[in-house]
Amino acid sequence: MDPIREHMLALTRRHFFGRMAMGLGTAALASLLQRAEANAASRTDVGRGILGSPHFAPKAKRAIYLFMAGGPAHMDLFDYKPNLKDWFDKDLPESVRMGQRLTTMTSGQKRLPIAPSKFKFKQCGQSGAWISELLPYHQRMVDDICIIKTLHTEAINHDPAITYICTGHQLPGRPSLGAWISYGLGSENDNLPTFIVMTPTWTGRKEAQALFNRLWGSGFLPTRHAGVALRRTGDPVLFLSNPDGVSPAVRRRTLEAIERINQQTYREIGDPETLTRIAQYEMAFRMQSSVPELLDISDEPKYILDMYGPDVYKPGTFARCALLARRMMERGVRFVQIFHRGWDQHGNIARDLPNQCRDVDQPCWALITDLKQRGLLDETLVVWGGEFGRTIYCQGKLTRENYGRDHHPRCFTIWMAGGGIKPGIVYGETDDFAYNIVENPVHIHDLNATILYCLGIDHKRLTYRFQGLDMRLTGVDRPVSPVMDIIT
Residue 390 host element (H or E): strand 389-394
Closest CA to 384 of 62, 65, 61: 65
Nearer to another protein, 5 or 422 (CB): 5
Q: Answer whether 283's CB lies under 8 Å from 44's CB.
A: yes
Distance (Å, rounded) from C-alpha 443 to C-alpha 168? 11
Question: Which listed range, 81-89, 90-98, 271-279, 296-304, lies at the site for another protein (CB under 8 A)?
Answer: 271-279
Nearer to another protein, 200 or 354 (CB): 200
What is the nearest approach in angstroms of another protein to the Cβ of residue 450?
18
The residues that bridge with 220 in the sheet, in sequence order, are none
What is the nearest approach in angstroms of another protein to the Cβ of residue 131?
29
Sequence-distant (≥ 6) Cβ neighbours of residue 460 within 8 angstroms: 472, 474
Which residues from 150-179 bind another protein, rule CB under 8 A?
156-159, 171-173
What is the nearest approach in angstroms of another protein to the Cβ of residue 472?
11
Question: Which listed range, 223-231, 325-333, 372-380, 447-455, lies at the site for another protein (CB under 8 A)?
Answer: 223-231
What is the nearest approach in angstroms of another protein to the Cβ of residue 155?
10
Q: Does 41 bind another protein (CB under 8 A)?
A: no
Nearer to another protein, 29 or 250 (CB): 250
CA contacts within 13 A on the Cβ side of 135: 30
Q: Does 43 bind another protein (CB under 8 A)?
A: yes
Nearer to another protein, 149 or 346 (CB): 346
Q: Which of 257, 298, 301, 303 binds another protein (CB under 8 A)?
A: 257
Residue 100 CA, chain-centre distance (Å), reads 30
Nearer to another protein, 121 or 339 (CB): 339
Which residues from 77-106 bind another protein, rule CB under 8 A?
101, 103-105
Distance (Å, rounded) from C-alpha 202 to C-alpha 479? 36
Output the CA–CA distances (angstroms, integers) from residue 10 to 3, 104, 254, 282, 373, in the order listed: 11, 62, 19, 12, 40
Which residues from 274-333 bind another protein, rule CB under 8 A?
274, 276-278, 280-281, 283-285, 287-288
Q: Which of 251, 331, 372, 422 binds another protein (CB under 8 A)?
A: 251
Q: Which of 32, 33, 98, 250 binds another protein (CB under 8 A)?
A: 250
Q: Which of 298, 375, 467, 484 binds another protein (CB under 8 A)?
A: 467
Nearer to another protein, 172 or 441 (CB): 172
Question: Which listed range, 32-40, 76-84, 257-265, 348-356, lies at the site for another protein (CB under 8 A)?
Answer: 257-265
Q: Does 44 bind another protein (CB under 8 A)?
A: yes
Output the CA–CA distances (angstroms, integers) from residue 277 to 146, 228, 253, 369, 488, in the order listed: 44, 19, 17, 41, 43
Q: Mask 173-212, x = binds another protein (CB under 8 A)?
A: x-------------------------x------xxxxxxx
Q: Does 19 bind another protein (CB under 8 A)?
A: no
Q: Which of 397, 477, 485, 488 binds another protein (CB under 8 A)?
A: 477
Residue 275 CA, chain-centre distance (Å), reads 33
Q: Does 248 bind another protein (CB under 8 A)?
A: no
Q: Which of 29, 36, 91, 271 binds another protein (CB under 8 A)?
A: 271
What is the nearest approach in angstroms of another protein to the Cβ of residue 230?
10
Q: Which of 401, 468, 479, 484 binds another protein (CB under 8 A)?
A: 468
Binding residues for another protein, rule CB under 8 A, total 86
Sequence-distant (≥ 6) Cβ neighbours of residue 344 within 8 angstroms: 70, 71, 158, 205, 208, 209
Q: Which of 320, 327, 407, 459 binds another protein (CB under 8 A)?
A: 407
The residues that bridge with 471 in the sheet, in sequence order, are 464
Distance (Å, rounded) from C-alpha 252 to C-alpha 244? 15
CA dihedral (356, 361, 364, 366) positive or negative = negative
Q: Which of 4, 269, 298, 301 binds another protein (CB under 8 A)?
A: 269
Distance (Å, rounded) from C-alpha 32 to C-alpha 281? 19
Q: Answer whether 187's CB lies under 8 Å from 195's CB.
A: no
Distance (Å, rounded) from C-alpha 68 to C-alpha 439? 24
Q: Which of 32, 33, 235, 374 binds another protein (CB under 8 A)?
A: 235
Nearer to another protein, 139 or 209 (CB): 209
Which residues from 417-446 bind another protein, rule CB under 8 A?
none
Residue 82 host element (H or E): none
Sequence-distant (≥ 6) Cβ neighbours of residue 192 within 8 angstroms: 287, 290, 291, 294, 328, 331, 332, 333
What is the nearest approach in angstroms of another protein to the Cβ of residue 25?
20
Distance (Å, rounded) from C-alpha 227 to C-alpha 41? 22
Q: Answer whether 50's CB lies under 8 Å from 184's CB.
A: yes
What is the nearest approach in angstroms of another protein to the Cβ of residue 73?
16
